Chains A and B, each alone.
Chain A
């Protein structure tokens, strides 16, 4: 482990570089957008009535100053980085002057709550069942699960979501089909609100679990199918070890490493929000925020969400990379 400090330093530099490049790319891409936030605002304002052209010209100038879009691109770039380093993404242009951080702060708990729980459920169930299916390859029930997983896996997410909406929202209307909670409830740690949140999360969570399960299941089954042919597993079986011990200590543990990496990246990706899920189920969250921000040309908000996401995914990968050498002796430090 003497090489670990050097490895740590190298990975931290890589991490900083990845974040720097990623955030710069986000800046370039958002500023290359053909959508002009000033024109979007002017259009919204003038929909009220007949505004004289000279008044619109004056408004355009005011808005450009107000939104901080008057400087050169280089000046805007420096302002942006100085804000990022302070953890301040400035005001949202489409919800001016509400700070971007306030909008993200409001949306993030919804997204994180839904995605963390559904991702963990999906990961645990998918790996458990996939591992069993890979080990007990003659079990009919597990074989059937494999067939179902193969069948469900390629179905586009929105089809599954719409099916759930139709079944539980219309044909057998027992579950709410949009929103995060019922109307006119006081948000907080009170049972009417908490139970309503749980109820409203069932369909979006179920849609994510149904689609995600197949991927983890098939991945784990494939990994386990390879591991069971390894010499040490064959020797363990020949030695007469209990099959549950072989499965748990020898097979699953060794097959799980890539899945843990996948989990870390999935959890990091949570900060993107599940865009389609939030749109289909009208769920309040970061995904909806991001899409609306793109359509509104809201640079600040898009940059805020993407920067948080880039940092989150990078942190997830970094943590896994740093932990791997400590938990898996097969990983060689270079």
Chain B
């Protein structure tokens, strides 16, 4: 009896729920240790990508990394954009009315104030530090108005309440005000402000099921229409091979991410599977920028000539083949080729890049090759056939524009100018030692980037550098913060994607925040790089509004500086191979209809719920 022919795969489908009403999505966090924790405001408390942030929580604004349902910017709990005073020390927000928590209590400005006050009063909570550092007080003159009085000017304070991947979610005052210690409260069962509420979950953390609220119209998502799926199941389907099997058996509708090979298998074997791009390169380009990130506090890597020399030794075509089997969107500039950025930065800067010149001391070269994206497409066409686009615009969108032409001779001239010398095929440092560069990679925790790093090390070795792979595995976060590396593959550039403002990552690059060697480096300046010109750009951005067109001009100044200084070598967008099965549901976001980020752990992915319709 035990061997009765039931369909296999993950754990099958949730029992007692009609499949045609159910959307099954991957929770990339895997199995959740403390499954019964839903207090997202406490640190390390349970899962957040189990549907909690996508389906049940809400906050003031969203910015989609793509085009959005009605523009990338979405006023969610807020009725309009934030309004700052002249010196950015006060932010006023008007809230929507008629929105209700799932227990029937109306959402008001008191919830927003409680979200801030509760966390400031409890230093161990997730956003306590950022709120305590910024907020002097919160005033609520009426139920639909919130006024944040800030301790110092901050033209980007609203971004804390703006979903990119997540944000500061609004907590229910009427629940938390009765709790003795909010940091140790499990919030089980969670009260929802989103369109779904918790139906059931696995105490062992493998699955969570959410059910559409009967009063979904009384949520911020309601104005976009009725969500298609009545139930959402966020599951841990296991490693990539099992995800592929599960989708082939139509028991996992949306895979968050798989290896390129898994994506190719699905595309070949399951005609119902759809990825972001209909054909090659399939993956959704994340608004992050994998790059070779130098530790510019390293004695030799302080020198721009050395960094540029290492860049000119790389053939990015081989790197994309090694990492993604060619399914990558390259970027020569320090902005990911995602969302609005190709229009705001990449295409407008093509002319400048073509003219960009490096003086090696012995010659002047123009390193930019605008045809690299096209070369990658041409290289793949013989084996991939019709899957490779031929329209130049589509090629640029899918594979990127140009990159740096490998030029080992010019690289040698730069190294020579920096005091290095070559002995046989080996580059020696100015003090006569072999030039060792350890390139740290995460290992099998992030295989695509590890493969890219391995290829780059091979290319540097061929050019005479004593390059070595340094596999960090689980120690990467600690070592990255401590600056314990020469270079590593990762990202220090993370953008909104759907909005051109670059302050999201750039502000912490100001020299005031660059840590001394050995001290932990604050977020997103792992290269520990500072430059007076960069400081000036950051300070100018701080003084203008989020939507000020001058922000794009400053962003382009930043790109020029990054290009000439090369503190990181930009490689490509972080492509996420999100596979969507159309057997039960249709209307997924794609490159042809980019209304939302499809990646299942992003808060923005909630927008797909209102566009999904039963396939039959």
Contacts and interface: CB of A to CB of B under 8 A. Distances in A.
Interface stretch (A81-89, A245-253, A289-297): A289-297
B615 interface: no
A14 interface: no
Interface stretch (B10-18, B273-281, B350-358): B10-18
Contacts of A282: 10, 31, 206, 236, 238, 242
- Greatest chain B CB density within 10 A among A48, A195, A292 is at A48
Contact of A95 (B12, B44, B508): B44
B478 A39 contact: yes
A174 interface: yes
A49 B159 contact: yes
B9 A176 contact: yes
A106 B132 CA distance: 37
A51 B477 contact: no
Contacts of A226: none
Interface in B130-174: 130, 132-134, 156, 159-160, 162, 164-168
Interface string A312-331: 00000000000000000000
A11 interface: no
A326 B236 CA distance: 50
A98 B235 contact: no
Given A98-B37, A284-B206, A63 B43 contact: yes
B564 interface: no
A308 B505 CA distance: 44
B207 interface: yes
B238 A95 contact: no
B475 A58 contact: no
A288 interface: yes
A261 interface: no
B107 to A, nearest CB: 21
Contacts of A198: 2
B129 A58 contact: yes
Given A49-B160, A92-B34, A178-B11, A34 B522 contact: no
B33 A98 contact: yes
A295 B474 contact: yes
Interface string A48-69: 1111111111111011001000
Given A176-B10, A179-B11, A199-B2, A47 B507 contact: no
B7 interface: yes
A49 B166 contact: yes
Interface majority SS (helix, strand, loop, mixed), chain B: loop
A282 B12 CA distance: 13
Interface size grouping (class) on chain A: 35 or more
A177 interface: yes
A178 B10 contact: yes
Contact of B159 (A35, A50, A107, A289): A50
Interface in A1-59: 34-36, 39-59
Interface in B551-605: none
A280 to B, nearest CB: 8
A286 to B, nearest CB: 12
B81 interface: no
Nearest to B231: A184
Contacts of B129: 51, 55-56, 58-59, 62
Interface string B323-365: 0000000000000000000000000000000000000000000
B43 A96 contact: yes
Nearest to A169: B8
Contacts of B505: 50
Nearest to A279: B239
A47 B159 contact: no
B522 A49 contact: no
B11 A183 contact: yes
A183 B12 contact: yes
Contact of B11 (A48, A103, A200): A200
Contacts of B220: none
- Greatest chain B CB density within 10 A among A53, A58, A284, A289 is at A53
A175 interface: yes
A181 interface: yes
A309 interface: no
Nearest to B204: A284
A97 B45 CA distance: 8
A222 to B, nearest CB: 35
Contacts of A182: 11-12, 14-15
Contacts of B503: 50
A97 B39 CA distance: 11
A288 B42 CA distance: 24
A54 B133 contact: yes
A97 B124 CA distance: 11
Contacts of B237: 178
A177 B9 contact: yes
A170 interface: yes
A117 interface: no
Interface in A185-207: 185, 187, 192, 195, 198-200, 202
B6 interface: yes
Given A43-B477, A50-B504, A55-B129, A95 B11 contact: no
B245 interface: yes
Interface in B400-420: none
A190 B123 CA distance: 44
B240 to A, nearest CB: 12
B481 interface: yes
- Greatest chain B CB density within 10 A among A41, A47, A179, A183 is at A183
Nearest to A168: B8
Contact of A184 (B6, B16, B524): B16
B15 A184 contact: yes
Contacts of B513: 53
Nearest to A291: B474
B531 interface: no
Contacts of B14: 182-184
B165 to A, nearest CB: 7
Nearest to B161: A49
Contacts of A292: 31, 33
A53 to B, nearest CB: 3
A127 interface: no
A93 interface: yes
Interface string A157-177: 000000001001110011111
Contact of B12 (A49, A51, A176, A180): A176
A114 to B, nearest CB: 13
Contacts of A97: 42, 183-184
A175 to B, nearest CB: 6
A94 interface: yes
Interface in B73-129: 123-124, 126-129
B529 to A, nearest CB: 14
A110 interface: yes
Contacts of B426: none
Contacts of B126: 45, 48
Interface in B192-209: 200, 202-207, 209
B51 to A, nearest CB: 13
Interface in B489-526: 503-505, 507-508, 513, 520, 522-524
- Closest 5 A/B residue pairs (Cβ): A53-B522, A173-B8, A179-B11, A95-B34, A295-B474
Given A176-B9, A297-B474, 4 more contacts: A34-B478, A93-B44, A187-B203, A292-B33
14 contacts: A35-B477, A44-B44, A53-B522, A58-B123, A170-B248, A173-B9, A175-B8, A177-B9, A177-B245, A178-B10, A183-B209, A200-B11, A292-B33, A297-B478
Interface of B: 2-17, 31, 33-34, 37, 42-46, 123-124, 126-130, 132-134, 156, 159-160, 162, 164-168, 183-184, 200, 202-207, 209, 233, 235-238, 241-242, 245, 248-249, 473-475, 477-479, 481, 503-505, 507-508, 513, 520, 522-524
